[in-house]
């Protein structure tokens, strides 16, 4: 299972029906949290996310609507008896922020935090774990900010059953073939793996663009992605305001998704001034039809 569950889709100020940015990415048995706006732990409880399975947290930047929920969540995990280590990937200043809040409240966490600082402008792979790979890339915002690309690789090679039978490989050995092994027959013939299997299918990719001004330099990271999340803080009428504040509009997000030949676009980080979100779809879908509102509580499969 590879999917993204939206916990918050609002920007800046939480509203009564929309929380600030937070998303859970499920990669088989591993849970990743991307951004952690205020109230994230309540959304985790509401949508029955298994907190104990959370292994990695990624914070795109240090505007409050992307991390003010973190201390509360870390504290709750401690109170609930967590002992498994937790990795946090974030701008370096966050380490001090966490430390000072823990110190001032006299809290000693029972679990270890493995803090990985993301230095301004860094681009590249930051995590490899089993079939999961995460890389980050800088976005253009008012302060240092990162997008994240999460890839779930298919590890197993694909068996060609007719070939495997023709070479008399026993069915019990098919699992090993899918892992890349050759097979030595009793008559001494070495059945080479690539005679009976083909390479694994391409992995799937989810790209989270964080907060950003409209920026065509993001295209290489978005190219052919299965699902893209791009912020649309404003409708296109407020293009000028979006640029001033280093945010994007509906039309800009849809144009990038189309140019990148992405398969699907999720939009969010809506300004609190909007009570109705349908106009966002009315502006994006003519440019990129497979667009959806990143609706809270909904899991989108990648």
The binding site for Zn ion (CB under 5 A) comprises: 63, 211
- Contact status, residue 263 vs residue 302, Cβ threshold 8 Å: no
Nearest 10 degrees: Cα torsion 255, 260, 265, 267: -50
How is 188-205 classified by DSSP, letter by letter? S-EE-HHHHEEPPPPPEE
84 is catalytic: no
Cα distance between residue 138 and residue 147, in whole Å = 6
66 is in an annotated binding site: yes
Comparing CB distances to Zn ion, the nearer of 55 and 247 is 247
Comparing CB distances to Zn ion, the nearer of 63 and 230 is 63
Comparing CB distances to Zn ion, the nearer of 211 and 296 is 211
As measured in angstroms, the least distance from the Cβ of 62 to Zn ion is: 9
CB neighbour burial string for 128-167, b if at least 16 within 10 angstroms, e if fewer: eeebbbbbbbbbebeebbbbbbbbbbeeebebbeeebeee
- Contact status, residue 164 vs residue 196, Cβ threshold 8 Å: yes
As measured in angstroms, the least distance from the Cβ of 6 to Zn ion is: 17
Comparing CB distances to Zn ion, the nearer of 190 and 273 is 273
- 181 Cβ contact partners less than 8 Å away, ≥ 6 residues apart: 173, 193
As measured in angstroms, the least distance from the Cβ of 141 to Zn ion is: 6
Alpha helices in 140-192 (DSSP H): 161-166, 174-178
Strand blocks (E) in 176-246: 183-184, 190-191, 197-198, 204-208, 227-231
Comparing CB distances to Zn ion, the nearer of 55 and 63 is 63
What is the H or E stretch that residue 4 is in? strand 2-8
As measured in angstroms, the least distance from the Cβ of 117 to Zn ion is: 19
Comparing CB distances to Zn ion, the nearer of 64 and 240 is 64
- Contact status, residue 235 vs residue 283, Cβ threshold 8 Å: yes
As measured in angstroms, the least distance from the Cβ of 288 to Zn ion is: 23
Point out the catalytic residue in the list 17, 65, 182, 194: 65
Within 13 Å and on the Cβ side, how many CA atoms surround 296?
A: 24
Q: Is 290 helix (H, G, I), strand (E, B) or coil?
A: coil
Sign of CA dihedral 33, 13, 63, 259: positive
As measured in angstroms, the least distance from the Cβ of 172 to Zn ion is: 55
141 is in an annotated binding site: yes
Q: Detail the residues annotated as belonging to a binding site.
A: 61, 63, 65-66, 141, 211, 269
> Which residues are the active-site residues?
65
Binding annotation for Zn(2+): 61, 63, 65-66, 141, 211, 269
């Amino acid at each position: 299972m590879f999917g993204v569950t939206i916990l918050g889709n609002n920007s800046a100020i939480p509203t009564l029906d929309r929380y600030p940015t937070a998303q859970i990415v499920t990669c088989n048995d591993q849970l990743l949290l991307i951004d952690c706006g205020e109230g994230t732990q309540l959304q985790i409880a509401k949508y029955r996310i298994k907190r104990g399975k959370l292994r990695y947290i990624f914070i795109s930047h240090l505007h409050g609507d992307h991390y003010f929920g973190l201390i509360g969540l870390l504290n709750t995990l401690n109170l609930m008896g967590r002992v498994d280590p937790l990795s946090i990937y974030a701008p370096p200043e966050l380490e001090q922020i966490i430390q000072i809040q823990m110190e001032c409240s006299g809290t000693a966490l029972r679990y270890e935090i493995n803090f990985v600082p993301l230095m301004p402008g860094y681009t590249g792979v930051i995590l490899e774990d089993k079939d999961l790979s995460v890389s980050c890339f800088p976005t253009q915002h008012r302060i240092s900010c990162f997008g994240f690309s999460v890839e779930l690789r298919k590890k197993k090679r694909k068996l060609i059953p007719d070939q495997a039978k023709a070479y008399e490989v026993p069915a019990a050995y098919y699992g090993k073939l899918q892992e890349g092994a050759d097979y030595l027959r009793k008559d001494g013939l070495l059945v080479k793996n690539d005679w009976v299997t083909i390479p694994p299918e391409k992995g799937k990719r989810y790209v989270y663009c964080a907060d950003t001004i409209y920026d065509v330099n993001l295209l290489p990271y978005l190219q052919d992605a299965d699902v893209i999340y791009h912020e649309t803080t404003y409708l296109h009428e407020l293009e000028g305001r979006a640029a001033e504040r280093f945010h994007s509009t509906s039309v800009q997000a849809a144009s990038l998704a189309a140019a990148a030949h992405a398969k699907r676009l999720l939009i969010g980080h809506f300004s609190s001034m909007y009570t109705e979100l349908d106009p966002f779809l009315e502006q994006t879908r003519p440019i990129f039809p497979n667009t959806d509102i990143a609706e809270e509580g909904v899991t989108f499969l990648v």
